[in-house]
């Protein structure tokens, strides 16, 4: 596979300027002219993806789309998400849906069943490969925390709707949990956003058995999940990944665009109220039957075979075009 051309474009919003940057970048690198693409594969639902497709689909290239099939809408992202989703729906030749729920969402949008292949999520493929790596934490404190007799709790919180009082509530819950359980350690991966840090640092810096760390690279983070007993998170990706490692996930949100994990029993919505976070965490620490029920639930997001299913679907697609 040839190297990727990086367009070095970042923008929070789908704007005319971003549209022009993407199209200009593709043309500048000669991607469209020189590569004579046989197929374009797109990951995700970002507006930038849809923008590039306008240029590429005009050349009658097959378009394969790999997506979650569900993204939460709000006033800030409504226009961008609607544009990207519906453009993908209109032009994609194959949709790789990670779950049956995602397939149902696509069908509801009018995508024909013949254009949908349920594959599982490729992130689970990557997760399982990373988890198999023989890894030791460089930081002795993290290595010690990972071997905690009472159990390690991994925490991440960064979403926009968590800013302010919700993150403060999460921090207060963490403080109370380590106060009640003197053999439990907590690793809190702090997002780079200063809005998050200006709350987390005053609330948790210096608290005994709470480790505030910079966001780790992917392999170390996977091994933190692997070492954890319980994971508290508002991250959509972690909701998908942690169950493959047998880790109960308490979702620090009121709603989730990944309902399959909740339905399967490997994730539970606990919201952002301090008392609720404490009570649900305590239940898993105190009740082994409750813990095992969540830890042994089957992950609905994949089994590590998504890439092979996608490769087979692509091969079958091109074989059918020969006929």
CA distance 105 to 76: 22
Tens-digit pLDDT profile for residues 291-321: 999 999 999 999 999 999 999 998 888 888 7
Please state the pTM of the whole predicted model: 0.78
Over 80: is that where the pLDDT of 154 sits?
Answer: yes
Give the chain's domains with CATH numbers.
Answer: 16-120+305-322 (3.40.50.2000), 129-295 (3.40.50.2000)
Between 1 and 212, name the one with better pLDDT. 212
| pLDDT for res 28 | 58
Between 281 and 67, name the one with better pLDDT. 281
Percent of the chain surpassing pLDDT 70: 72
Most confident of 2-11, 43-52, 112-121: 112-121
Contacts 24+ apart (CB under 8 A), 143-150: 145/185, 145/187, 145/211, 145/227, 146/223, 146/224, 146/227, 147/227, 148/183, 148/184, 148/185, 149/183, 150/181, 150/182, 150/183, 150/184, 150/185
| pLDDT for res 312 | 93
CA distances from 135 to 105, 127, 175, 304 (A): 38, 14, 29, 20
| pLDDT for res 15 | 53
CA distance 13 to 21: 13
Cα–chain center distance at 97: 15
Over 60: is that where the pLDDT of 148 sits?
Answer: yes
Q: Which helix (H) or strand (E) holds 266?
A: none
| pLDDT for res 92 | 75
CA distances from 90 to 39, 86, 94, 227 (A): 16, 6, 11, 43
Tens-digit pLDDT profile for residues 22-81: 556 655 555 555 445 556 666 655 555 555 555 555 555 555 656 555 444 444 444 444
CA distances from 177 to 55, 137, 152 (A): 53, 24, 12
Most confident of 11-15, 46-50, 117-121, 167-171: 167-171
Q: Report the alpha-carbon angle 25-29-31, nearest 5.
A: 100
């Amino acid at each position: 596979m040839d190297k990727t051309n990086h367009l070095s474009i970042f923008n929070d919003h789908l704007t005319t300027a971003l549209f022009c940057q993407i199209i200009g970048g593709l043309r500048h690198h000669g991607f469209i002219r020189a590569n004579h693409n046989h197929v374009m594969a797109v990951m995700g639902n970002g507006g930038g993806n849809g923008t590039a497709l306008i240029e590429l689909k005009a050349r009658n290239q097959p378009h394969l789309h790999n997506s979650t099939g569900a993204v939460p809408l709000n006033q800030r992202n409504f226009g961008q998400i609607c544009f990207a989703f519906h453009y993908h729906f209109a032009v994609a030749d194959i949709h790789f849906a990670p779950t049956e729920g995602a397939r149902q969402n696509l069908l509801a949008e009018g995508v024909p069943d013949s254009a949908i292949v349920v594959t599982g999520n490729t992130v689970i493929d990557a997760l399982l490969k990373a988890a198999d790596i023989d890894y030791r934490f460089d930081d002795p404190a993290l290595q010690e925390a990972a071997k905690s007799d009472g159990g390690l709790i991994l925490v991440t919180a960064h979403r926009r709707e968590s800013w302010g009082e919700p993150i403060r509530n999460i921090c207060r819950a963490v403080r109370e949990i380590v106060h009640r359980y003197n053999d439990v350690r907590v690793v809190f991966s702090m997002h780079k956003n200063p809005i998050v840090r200006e709350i987390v640092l005053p609330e948790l810096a210096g608290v005994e058995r709470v480790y505030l760390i910079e966001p780790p690279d992917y392999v170390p983070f996977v091994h933190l999940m692997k070492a954890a007993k319980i994971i508290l998170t508002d991250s959509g990706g972690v909701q998908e990944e942690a169950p493959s490692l047998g880790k109960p996930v308490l979702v620090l949100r009121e709603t989730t665009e990944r309902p399959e994990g909740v339905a399967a029993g490997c994730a539970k919505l606990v919201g952002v109220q301090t008392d609720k976070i404490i009570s649900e965490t305590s239940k898993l620490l105190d009740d082994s039957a409750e813990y095992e029920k969540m830890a042994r639930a089957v992950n609905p997001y994949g089994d590590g075979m998504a890439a092979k299913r996608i490769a087979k679907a692509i091969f079958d697609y091109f074989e059918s075009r020969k006929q």
